[in-house]
Each structure stands twice: as structure tokens, then as C-alpha cells.
Chains A and B, each alone.
Chain A
Amino acid sequence: MKFAGTEDYVATDDLKIAVNAAATLRRPLLIKGEPGTGKTVLANEVAKAFGTDLIEWHIKSTTKAQQGLYEYDAVSRLRDSQLGDEKVKDIRNYIKKGKLWDAFTSDGTPILLIDEIDKADIEFPNDLLLELDRMEFHVYETGETVKAVNRPIVIITSNNEKELPDAFLRRCFFHFIKFPDEQTMKEIIAVHYPDISNKLVKDALNIFFEIREVPGLKKKPSTSELLDWLKLLMAEELPEEVLKSKDPSSLIPPLHGALLKNEQDVHLFERLAFMNRRKTV
């Protein structure tokens, strides 16, 4: 079982090694990188490549580690007991399985994606240490122990909003997805839009990397934004010259809304474009 990228996903050599090491040793793989470089998509693609299920656990600031294991719904049990419901006698009716439980008991080797782990409370990763290490946990309410039949492949993404504890990091493989260079970017585009014209790609990439160079942008456009933009350009069927034109009135690239996501950035870009125009005239 080797991961070598898929037809929809261009994986660099170092990423392949990291994924394969994590898959072979069944240790969690921690993925970091700029937003929009395909961290979350990776889990999808690995699942596709290995032909297994993907179990996604999206973390929010309110997510507790316990919720990934199971939840005991004490409130509805209290209500049921007051209504005299028969269900109340068996505590198992009030235990809701979490994503980790699902992953541990699933047939085959599922991929478990823990998305944006840094969003959660600072203690969150620590609370999952043992569970991810031994791939088992204890359910106190019923006294049973849930143990993984097949150790799932765990992929964890982080946006660096909080530092993760050392003890947690020691148990993971780590990969930092760096921003793709122009060559890789071309491959990525070819994978997504096989019938796009070469000229359009070239011009669009020039503009794209130029925008990324603009100092002081709040959010630099990333791969996913580039792909959206290309899709729009293709859908609009703009004449090819538009991207090339040196006409001062159109210094801002067409449909820039797909690339620049906040108004300060658009203003900044307009200002720079204006200054550029004054220089050239």
C-alpha cells in the first residue's frame, strides 16, 4: 500500500514519504501549511488512493476531546426518567459514539481526519495522547474498552493558531506543505483543468505570482483561489488578450474577486496599480 498522489492531487516527493511512513507505522501524520495549499484535501485523496473510508472530525473552538470518543447524554436520560420511559434502564441508549469510536470499530483501515486541531482548547491534543497512541479507550459508563480492530491512519491538520504540546508532537510524523513553485503549480492546474490552454495558464500564473509578491497583503491568494479564478476565467471565455493587456485602465486583473478576499487587499492592489500607471505614463 503506497501513496503516490492521485489523478486529482499532485503530491511532492517529501509528502509521499511522510504519508507512506505514517501509513506503514500507523502513527498520526500532522500536516501544516498556508491556508489553501490542500491540507484537508490530502486526507480525501489518501482515502481515495487506498480505497478506504474517510472519517472526518472537524474541530471547533468548543470541541472537547471526549466528544471524539463518546458522549453520555445525561440531560435526555434525566428527562426520560421523569417521563418514565423504559429506555432509561439501559445506559447504553444514552452513549453516543464519537468519530474515534467509529474509526476504531470500522471495517478495513479507515482514514481519520482531525481537521484544524489548533482551533480547539490548548489541552485538547493532550487529552487524546493515549487514545491515539494505543488506539483504545475506556467507556466509564458501561465499563467496556473500545480497542481498534485495525489501527486507522490518522491525518491531523493545523493552521498554527496554537502551539501543540511536545508530548503530542513526539508521537506524530510532521509535514509542512510549502507553497508550490511554478512547475508544481502547472502540474496542479493540469490535473484540475486538463483542457485549459497553455497560454492562459502562463499569463494567469504570471499575474498570480505577481499578486503574491505584493507586500502587505492580508491574505495572499493560494492554490485553491488560483483554481477558482482559472475556473471563472474559463467560464467567462474572456479574450486571451485581456490578461496580457498593458492598457492602464485594466491594470487590475479581471475577476480579481476570486483572488483577493478582503477589501483592504483590493484597495491596496488598486493603489499599487495606480502608482504603477503613473510611473509608466
Chain B
Amino acid sequence: MFTNFFYALKDNGIPVSIKEYLTLMEAMDAGCANFSVDDFYYLSRATFVKDEGNLDKFDRVFGKIFEGVEFIGDDVTEIPKEWLEKLAELYLSKEEMDEIKSLGSWDEIMETLKKRLEEQEKRHQGGNKMIGTAGRSPFGAYGYNPEGVRIGQDEGRHGRALKVWDKREYKNLDDSVELGTRNIKIALRKLRQFAREGEATELDLDGTIHATAHQGYLDIKMVPERHNAVKLLLFFDVGGSMDPHIKICEELFSAARSEFKHLEFFYFHNCLYDRVWKDNRRRHNDHMSTMDVLHTYPHDYKVIFVGDASMSPYEITYPGGSVEHWNEESGEVWMNRVSNIYSRAVWLNPIPDEHWQYSQSIQIMKTLMQDKMYPLSLSGIDGAMRELRR
């Protein structure tokens, strides 16, 4: 019974175990679900999902597996094609989508979309930068707004009642989506955890008294001292498409600033070259040499790059590839220098990781970082921090 449901959950990355499956069977046996699909949905959700981050995934799997269980007539709302949704997300702002949604007509949506596409065509810049230009690349299509509005089968245009799991109310709790103001607090907590790692110990007075009374002889207890030992260098990619993400990151790290022993910010554009700067407004005349940075901060610093790594491959591999100035040495050389000095370095990328494989420059950068590239999502930050801690 329901084994395919169980395996579908497992395949979709929800951590379920036999224990929970048996619990569900036991609960069904005890009559907790009352033979209604809604009740069964609630019961199985309470049994299988243990983290609100997985609720949305669960809703999707449930919808897929039990599709048609509560089939009402053949008047089923047509689900628009995937690619169309994604295109709509790419070209329309949230406000526009809401507006269109209230109009409720697909023809109008298509019309607007067409107009958008034409407009976009005119501004097309060429090159293989992939983002911000024609946006036809597979990863651009989903690119910047993975949690954007879906013109899915909600609203129930035919007046049919919505199924609970189709509402997908927990979408913004999914921890694989990018950071927003909502989950920034949790991300901050993860950073703090990372910052508080210390190996020194101090005397645990209460523990010592208790242990001494218990044993009858002096028994000294030590506990790890809580202090901030982590030193961090941050490199942010600024300019153009990255700015909103950078702002979030800056806020995130400056909020955690007091937790770190040292924290230094630097900016670069697209790829790290011979110069970085600290004040973005005066980037063209007030920059400093990257070599100085590498010489100033010793190798026990940990390094985090934040950037989309999306550019022309030439910008990384060839001297003079920079779009802003003439660089004597290629970005590749500079990235290698950094990873030779700092053994603990990671790259955080706001582009969802499922799209990385389509971008040549991301692949190159990932290889240069020895695969230590993580998406800028809660789970990504978690992974990155774990890597830095090792």
C-alpha cells in the first residue's frame, strides 16, 4: 500500500524512513484518516514531513501521485506548458503578473509576452553572456526569479474547488530557494554557528563543583570557550545583474560581523583580476591591487566569493578579457593564486545550481574553485559553511 508514494517522496529528496511509513500504516489502521483524501493528505504530511522546508516538495509529490483521486468531471483546468510559465516569469515583473492574473486570460498573457519578447529582441546585445541579453538560454529562462509567481492551475477558473496540496502555500519555506528577507534570519544563524567554532576550553565552575561532590575528589571539568575565531575575506561581484543579490549578502554578512574576528569586504566585477576596490562609487580611481590583498591577509583567512560567474569564457581564460580595463594576466591566473594561498575558499552563486551546467563560464569557475561552488540558498550556505569549517 502506498509504496510508490513512499518511494516518490524518497526520490524527491524528502528524508523519509521505514519507521515513518510504518507509523502511517499504524495511524491508518487506528482510523486517524477517516477515508477522506484530505484527511489522508494531512495525516501523511504530519507523518512524513519533519521540516517546513520540505512541505512544498511534499505537496508537489502528493499532487503528482494522487492526481485524479478526487476527479471531478472532465472539466480539468489545462496546465499551461512549463516553458511558457518560465518565460512569463522571466519577462514579466511580479506586479505585471499579478495584474494579468487578475485579468485571468491566457490570450492577454500571451499578447503581453509577445510584446515583451519583441522589445527584448531590439535591445539584444549579442555575445554569449547569456544573461540580460536575449535570455533564451535554458538557465536564463528560469534565471533570476526561481520563486516567482507561477501562473499555474491556481485560481480555479472553472469554479472548481482547489485541492489543498495544489495551493502550495509552503512554497516560500522551501530551503532550496534563494535567500529572501524571510529566511535571511535563519541564514544568519547558520553563519553565527560557523563563527562560534572555537577549540580552546575554559573551566566549567558549576560542572566542577557538581562533579567533585559526586565523586568525592576534585574533578575538574572543562567546556569549550565561546569566542569568535573565524577570519573572513569576502569578494563581491558588483555591477549589473548581481547587485540585488550582493545587497542581500552584504546585509547578511554585516549583520554577522560582530561574530567574526576579522571580516573584510572587497568588490570585483565578473571575475577577479589584478585590482579590487572597497568603495563601489569610486571604483575607477580608488582601487587597490589584488596582490596587496593577498599579501596582507595570511593564509588562515577563509575566503568567500559571491557572484553569478556568468560571463564570456574569455573573461576568465584570456589576458585582457576584462570588460573594464586591460588585465595583464587572465582571471584564471588570479583565481588560482587565491586558491593556492587560501585553502578554505568557497564561491556562493545566486543562480540555482540546476542551471549551472548550461553555462560555460560557471563550469570553468567551478573547476577553478575545485568544485566548491554553492548556490545562494539556505542549504547552499549550510554546505559552504561546512566546507569552510573542515
Contacts and interface: CB of A to CB of B under 8 A. Distances in A.
Nearest to A33: B52
A24 B189 contact: no
Contacts of A246: none
Interface string A156-174: 0000110010100111111
Contacts of A241: none
Contact of A25 (B30, B181, B213): B30
Interface string B11-55: 000010101100100110011110000110011011101111001
Given A21-B27, A24-B27, A216-B181, A74 B49 contact: no
Given A170-B20, A176-B170, A17 B46 contact: yes
Given A17-B33, A21-B32, A24-B30, A161 B42 contact: no
A22 B23 CA distance: 10
A147 interface: no
Given A74-B213, A161-B189, A174-B50, A18 B169 contact: no
Interface string A168-205: 01111111101000000000000000000000000000
B214 A25 contact: no
Contacts of A72: 214
A75 B170 contact: no
A156 to B, nearest CB: 12
Nearest to A27: B23
B27 A174 contact: no
Contact of B26 (A25, A77, A169, A171): A25
B210 interface: yes
Contacts of B169: 178
A263 interface: no
B47 A215 contact: no
A78 interface: yes
A11 to B, nearest CB: 12
B189 A17 contact: no
Interface in A181-235: 215-216
Contacts of A161: 189
A21 B209 contact: no
A95 to B, nearest CB: 13
A77 B32 CA distance: 50
Contacts, number: 74
B19 A170 contact: yes
Contacts of A14: 42, 45-46
A216 to B, nearest CB: 6
Residue in A72, A78, A176, A178 with the greatest tally of chain B CB atoms within 10 Å = A176
A18 B40 CA distance: 11
B186 interface: yes
B213 A17 contact: no
B199 to A, nearest CB: 17
A175 B30 contact: no
B39 A74 contact: no
B43 A172 contact: no
B279 to A, nearest CB: 24
Interface in A74-127: 74-75, 77-78
Given A169-B50, A170-B17, A174-B50, A75 B210 contact: yes
Contacts of A178: 169-170
Nearest to B39: A17
Contacts of B33: 17
A24 B189 CA distance: 36
Contacts of A22: 46
Contacts of A30: 50
Contacts of B15: 166
A129 to B, nearest CB: 12
Contact of A74 (B30, B47, B55, B210): B210
A18 B42 contact: yes
Nearest to B31: A24
A174 B46 contact: yes
Contacts of A25: 23, 26-27, 30, 32
Contacts of A13: 38-39, 42
A78 B30 CA distance: 52
A32 interface: yes
Contacts of B46: 14, 17-18, 21-22, 29, 173-175
A20 interface: yes
B56 to A, nearest CB: 11
Contacts of B51: 169, 174
Contacts of B209: 75
Contacts of A174: 46-47, 49-51
Contacts of B42: 13-14, 17-18
Nearest to A215: B181
A24 B38 contact: no
Nearest to A72: B214
Interface in A1-57: 13-14, 17-18, 20-22, 24-25, 27, 29-30, 32
Interface pairs A-B: 10 shortest CB-CB:
A169-B50, A17-B42, A18-B46, A14-B42, A74-B213, A176-B52, A74-B214, A21-B32, A173-B46, A75-B213
Given A25-B32, A74-B214, 14 more contacts: A14-B45, A20-B32, A21-B43, A22-B46, A24-B31, A25-B23, A25-B27, A72-B214, A74-B213, A171-B19, A173-B47, A174-B51, A176-B170, A216-B181
Interface of B: 15, 17, 19-20, 23, 26-27, 30-33, 38-39, 42-43, 45-47, 49-52, 55, 169-170, 173, 181, 186, 189, 209-210, 213-214
19 contacts: A14-B45, A17-B42, A17-B43, A17-B46, A18-B42, A18-B46, A20-B32, A21-B46, A24-B27, A24-B31, A74-B210, A77-B213, A160-B186, A166-B15, A170-B19, A174-B47, A174-B49, A176-B170, A178-B170
